[in-house]
Amino acid sequence: MSDFLMSMKDVSLAFGGPAILDGVSLSVSKGLRAALTGRNGEGKSTLMKVIAGELEPDAGEIVRAPGLKTIYVSQSVPADRPGDDAFNALSGGRRRRKILEDALLAKPDLLLLDEPTNHLDVEAIDWLEGMIRRAREMAVIVVTHDRRFLKRVATKIFDLDRGELSGWECDYPTFVRRKAELLADEAVYWERKSKKLAQEEAWIRRGVKARTTRNEGRVAALMKLREEFAARRTASGTATMRLDTAAPGGMRVLKIENLGFSYGGGDPIIRDFTADVLRGERIGILGANGAGKTTLLNLLTGRLAPVSGSVTVGTNVQLAFFDQLRSEMKPELTVAENIASDRDEVTVGGIRKHVYSYLADFLFSPERARTPVKALSGGERARLMLAKLFLKPANLLVMDEPTNDLDIETLELLEEQLLAYKGTLLLVSHDREFLDNVVTSTFVLEGDGEVRQYPGGYADYERQRKGRKASEATSAETAAERSPSAPAAPSANASRKLSYREQRELDALPDRIDALEKEIAAILASDPLKCRDDYARVPALQSELDAAVERWAELGERA
């Protein structure tokens, strides 16, 4: 039986300007785990839609295996699914996970994932990584800015650069190194060509003294060189954002004392949390979707009043807030109007700068600067929010999911700026690599209102958490060994084929997962004051749901 799923040959597509896809070819077989990389605006989502059959190319050939089942999960999470009240009651992160679970349960031959980790918590990202790695028969192509996800999942890279697609038979770190070498070689090539062009242009301006065969050949070569430069598509630029730090305040930025909060008298979101935030600290905030990360940020910045305890702001603290909902953007106004209203200039670090020149630092051309915000891509909106934020001098920078929709190059530049930032940073992010590279400690919402502080980034937190769990497990095992009624150890034959009973369990699990999700969603959609007992059941139901999904994954792998 053939492993072939689909192929594309010399596929081209343009929307009135330069070709988005220019003679693209690729082949997909069972078991493929590929990442599709490229800068914002290069056409990655367009290519995914062509592969999925949602867009027809202008030219080229596409061949699909008979009966090929393809599922495409787009970047956007629907605000509403007609008649699905349970789905509509879920948070953005839980909607994203539900969509991904549905896609995996459907067992497609080819799964296309466009920015699947956006809005997912770290636990859900780990779950998705495991599901993709265990999928032997299914082919997966993923677009993502999550570098840790890429490193763990992708064994092949498709790179879309200026309309052309290249395939790299390697993992993501190897690709990054080789692509950098390729771009450096390309820069040297065009620098030599540019010098040659300048020399020949100077020669022809001096006048051709005789119509010799040699001169005619040299003129023809110059014309060809001009055509080569005219047809050249240069790589998109790199953002040159610069953070403006306000004058430093006192050593203690925030004093958090016995902080507590709950909605409508329900279970505590934050319970008895005490900590100090000192000048220059870069603190990441971690927790599952719905755990209360944004609530904690709002409490720390005075946007929300605590139910108990207090947050005391230090002297001379100047705050700038990056909102994950981009609520400060006015969609009907242009990019430039959102930055400078009706003015032509902005002030950056005490220096006046034309608004178009400032926006060019964030990769907005003058034409794009005149575009209404509602027409921007997700990545462009994220860059615009950063451009607006960086105009405000601050010594306390608060960022709620700033990495969503940023391409990797812009993400890495943001990392550099945050590392060089002299102020204090509070950061909510599910990007593990970003957290490891930027933060000095983490506040982790661990459930039941408990918030703990850990030194270091995400990897440091993971090591400490696993060490604590191992210690607790050892203690429990020791206690069990002392008990005469201790259960027998699991059989070494746990990896055997499914029994009849296990097969029936596997068949029933999708319906059980769906029922649990609907029950949780129905409770969350109800009035917490009238349904307090139901709300108290949500943690147990969520644990049951997580266990059911893990069991489905385990049985599915063995099957």
Q: Which amino acid is at 369?
A: A
Is the domain of 263 the same as that of 402? yes
pLDDT at site 485:
55
**Poorest-confidence range of 39-48, 240-249, 485-494?**
485-494
Share of the chain above pLDDT 90, in %: 36
Instruction: Tell me if 121 sits within 8 A of 430, measured CB to CB.
Output: yes
**For 349-365, what is each residue's pLDDT tens digit?**
778 889 999 898 888 88
Is the domain of 437 the same as that of 529? no
Angle at 133 between CA 128 and CA 134, to 5 degrees: 100
What would the two tokens of residue 541 be? Answer: 């139901």
pLDDT at site 492:
40
Helix H or strand E segment including 506? helix 500-524
pLDDT at site 232:
60
Is the domain of 64 the same as that of 169? yes
Residue 219 lies in a domain: no
Is the domain of 416 the same as that of 324? yes
pLDDT at site 108:
95
Is the domain of 501 the same as that of 408? no
Note the pTM of the prediction, 2 decimals. Answer: 0.70
Q: How confident is the model at residue 40 (pLDDT cuts 50, 70, 90)?
A: confident
Contacts of 244 (CB under 8 A, 6+ apart): 348, 349, 390, 391, 392, 393, 394
Instruction: Tell me if 27 sits within 8 A of 51, measured CB to CB.
Output: no
pLDDT at site 243:
66
Residue 420 lies in a domain: yes
For residues 227-254, average pLDDT: 68
Q: How confident is the model at residue 486 (pLDDT cuts 50, 70, 90)?
A: low
CATH number of the domain encompassing residue 546: 1.10.287.380
pLDDT at site 91:
76
Q: Is the pLDDT of residue 325 over 70?
A: no
Beta bridge partners of 21: 13
Question: Of 157, 176, 195, which marks where a domain is finished?
Answer: 176
Q: Is the pLDDT of residue 461 over 80?
A: yes
Among the listed residues 400, 415, 425, 442, the one whose alpha carbon sits nearest the alpha carbon of residue 317: 425
- pLDDT winner (highest mean) among 232-241, 243-252, 407-416, 478-487: 407-416
Instruction: Tell me if 256 sits within 8 A of 309, measured CB to CB.
Output: yes
Q: Which amino acid is at 115?
A: E
What would the two tokens of residue 333 be? Answer: 């106004």
Instruction: Tell me if 245 sits within 8 A of 423, measured CB to CB.
Output: yes
Domain count, the chain: 3
Q: How confident is the model at residue 208 (pLDDT cuts 50, 70, 90)?
A: low
Taking residue 404's Cβ as centre, other Cβ atoms within 10 Å add up to: 21
For residues 535-556, average pLDDT: 79
Is the domain of 164 the same as that of 266? no
Contacts of 60 (CB under 8 A, 6+ apart): 8, 9, 10, 11, 12, 23, 24
DSSP conformational letter for 489: P
For residues 26-53, average pLDDT: 92
**What separation, in Å, do the N-terminal and C-terminal C-alpha atoms of the chain show?**
19
Residue 136 lies in a domain: yes
Is the domain of 32 the same as that of 152? yes
For residues 516-543, average pLDDT: 77
What would the two tokens of residue 553 be? Answer: 């994954």
Is the domain of 275 the same as that of 398? yes
Among the listed residues 151, 141, 158, the one whose alpha carbon sits nearest the alpha carbon of residue 42: 158
How far is it between the farthest Cα atoms of the chain?
A: 108
Contacts of 470 (CB under 8 A, 6+ apart): none
**For 269-294, what is each residue's pLDDT tens digit?**
999 999 999 988 999 999 988 889 98
What would the two tokens of residue 255 be? Answer: 């004093």
Is the domain of 403 the same as that of 517? no
CATH number of the domain encompassing residue 160: 3.40.50.300
Is the domain of 510 the same as that of 415? no
The average confidence (pLDDT) of the chain is 84
Question: Of 463, 481, 507, which marks where a domain is finished?
Answer: 463
Q: For residue 119, with 0-12 CB atoms within 10 Å meaning exposed, 13-18 middle and 19 or more buried, which class applies?
A: buried
Q: How confident is the model at residue 100 (pLDDT cuts 50, 70, 90)?
A: very high
Residue 54 lies in a domain: yes
Query: How far is 253 from 316, CA to CA, in rounded Å?
Result: 9
Is the domain of 92 the same as that of 145? yes
Taking residue 26's Cβ as centre, other Cβ atoms within 10 Å add up to: 19
**For 380-396, what is each residue's pLDDT tens digit?**
888 888 888 888 888 99
Q: What is the domain extent for residue 374? A: 252-463
For residues 32-47, average pLDDT: 89
Question: Of 121, 156, 176, which marks where a domain is finished?
Answer: 176
3-state secondary structure (DSSP) of residue 552: helix
Is the domain of 347 the same as that of 428? yes
Beta bridge partners of 319: 396
